[in-house]
């Protein structure tokens, strides 16, 4: 498999480190969180739809998550901030990760003090309606969290542990694992059968979800002495693993073989911390955010996969098939002229016209060529439609149950003026 990702756009609208990013299911909107707050981007136009400053939400945005009900196309944005506690579970602390299970409308949130809390979201109002449970993870900082296939909660602790908590009561199961690596981040594939963790010291590693056995290592070069957490992501229907780095590059690996497929340069030496992948109009993308300071503008790099040969080859083959018909037609025409010149009126032009049409003559050959090109062009247009999806408008955060987690909800484009 040959990848041809190229830097396609740069998005500028943040100052400080890009802490987190998430893309809607259809690939249309990107939410990014940084020291200065949250920005929602339209990835069709590569422009800002909405900015929510850190002054509005009390501190840096440290976690973002798009959620939606199973019976609607609307998506809502949940974002966690840095100086707010989840309910009254612990000292005020930044929200480090969020996860949502749409089938049960449950939301799980973690914070830097080691608190893991589960909530139920009302499917009608999309507000937190019930606090299910909250537990304290000792001697660890949760870096990411997810629901497994059994709808239990999996917490990736920063130092060396992965905790599996019962989704019903939060009790730790005997499947909790201790790794000999420093975990900077964790994520799972779409089937939730494998997970990949960021190993701060060496790269990233793939494990089986069922028993925690190691499957594959992916080595990411390190140029700085101090290891820093970086996000990793599955891409291309979970066929590849994508990782950031401490020197401005993004690395793309084959998930099964571990082969390094491509090294993407952002043109900077900044740490690449925030990372996500998405598909928009049938094309694969990588979004990578750099780590910076609060005084300097930071960049989100959008890399696009160029699908060399997929549509072009089809168009070429169609054109060649049409050209073949034209060559045959020209041969028949030349033969008819020669016969007519040699034998005079023994064969009429009208007779040859009928014969050529019956065998697929020049008129049909040209029609076939045009039809083939139009059909190929049409299929290309079909995977790049003009989408008219909705925009996100501001929705007040639930004040009582999940402090520090605010929500956005989408409405029609006509409501964009509400921003």
User: What is the chain's mean pLDDT, rounded?
Assistant: 75
Q: 276 near 261, Cβ under 8 Å?
A: no
- Residue 287: what pLDDT? 98
pLDDT of residue 347: 34
Give the three-class secondary structure for 324.
Answer: helix
Write down the domain spans for the chain. Answer: 8-307+395-418, 310-382
* pLDDT tens readout for residues 246-281: 999 999 999 999 999 999 999 999 999 999 999 999
Structure tokens at 349: 């032009």
Residue 301 pLDDT more than 70? yes
Please indicate whether residue 336 or residue 274 has the higher confidence score (pLDDT): 274
Instruction: Tell me the mean pLDDT in the region 86-97.
Output: 62
Closest by alpha carbon to 167, among 124, 107, 222? 107
The single-letter DSSP state of residue 1 is: -
Q: Is the pLDDT of residue 100 over 70?
A: yes
- pLDDT tens digit sequence for 367-386: 232 222 223 222 222 222 22
The strand pairing partners of 37, in sequence order, are: 34, 53
- Tell me whether residue 32 is exposed, middle or buried, using C-beta atoms within 10 angstroms of its C-beta: 0 to 12, 13 to 18, 19 or more: buried
Tens digits of residue pLDDT in 165-204 = 999 999 987 667 766 678 999 999 999 999 999 998 889 9
52-56, 102-106, 165-169, 324-328: range with lowest mean pLDDT: 324-328
Q: How many CA atoms lie within 13 A of 95 on its CB side?
A: 32
User: What pLDDT does 226 receive?
Assistant: 80
Q: What percent of the chain has pLDDT over 90?
A: 44
- Is the domain spanning 8-307+395-418 CATH 3.20.20.70? The answer is no
């Amino acid at each position: 498999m040959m990848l041809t990702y190229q830097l396609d756009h740069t998005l500028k609208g943040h100052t400080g480190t890009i802490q987190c990013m998430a893309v809607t299911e259809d690939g249309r909107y990107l939410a990014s969180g940084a020291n200065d707050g949250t920005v929602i981007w339209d990835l069709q136009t590569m422009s800002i739809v909405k900015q929510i400053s850190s002054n509005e939400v009390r501190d840096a945005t440290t976690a973002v998550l798009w959620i939606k009900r199973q019976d609607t196309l609307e998506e809502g944005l949940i974002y966690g901030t840095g100086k707010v506690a989840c309910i009254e579970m612990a000292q005020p602390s930044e929200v480090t990760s969020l996860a949502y299970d749409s089938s049960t409308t449950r939301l799980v949130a973690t914070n830097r003090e080691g608190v893991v809390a589960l909530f139920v979201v009302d499917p009608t109002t999309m507000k937190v309606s019930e606090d299910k449970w909250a537990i304290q993870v000792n001697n660890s900082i949760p870096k990411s969290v997810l629901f497994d296939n059994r709808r239990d909660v999996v917490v990736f602790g920063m130092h060396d542990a992965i905790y599996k908590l019962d989704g019903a009561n939060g009790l730790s199961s005997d499947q909790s694992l201790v790794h000999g690596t420093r975990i900077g981040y964790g994520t799972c594939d779409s089937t939730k059968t494998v997970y990949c963790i960021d190993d701060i010291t060496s790269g990233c590693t793939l494990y089986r979800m069922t028993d925690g056995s190691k499957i594959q290592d992916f080595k990411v070069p390190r140029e700085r002495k101090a290891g820093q957490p970086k996000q990793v992501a599955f891409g291309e229907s979970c066929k590849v693993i994508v990782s950031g780095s401490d020197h401005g590059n993004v690395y793309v690996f084959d998930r099964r073989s571990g082969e390094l497929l491509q090294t993407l340069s952002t043109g900077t030496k900044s740490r690449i911390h925030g990372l996500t992948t998405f598909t928009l109009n049938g094309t694969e993308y990588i979004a990578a955010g750099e780590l910076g300071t609060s005084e300097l503008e930071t960049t989100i790099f959008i890399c696009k996969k160029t699908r060399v040969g997929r549509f072009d080859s089809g168009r070429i083959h169609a054109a060649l098939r049409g050209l073949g018909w034209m060559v045959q037609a020209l041969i028949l025409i030349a033969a008819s002229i020669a016969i007519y010149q040699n034998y005079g009126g023994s064969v009429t032009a009208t007779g040859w016209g009928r014969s050529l049409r019956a065998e697929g003559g020049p008129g049909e050959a040209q029609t076939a060529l045009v039809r083939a090109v139009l059909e190929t062009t049409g299929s290309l247009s079909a995977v790049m439609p003009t989408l008219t999806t909705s925009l996100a408008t501001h929705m007040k955060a639930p004040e009582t149950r999940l402090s520090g987690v605010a929500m956005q909800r989408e409405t029609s484009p006509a409501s964009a003026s509400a921003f």
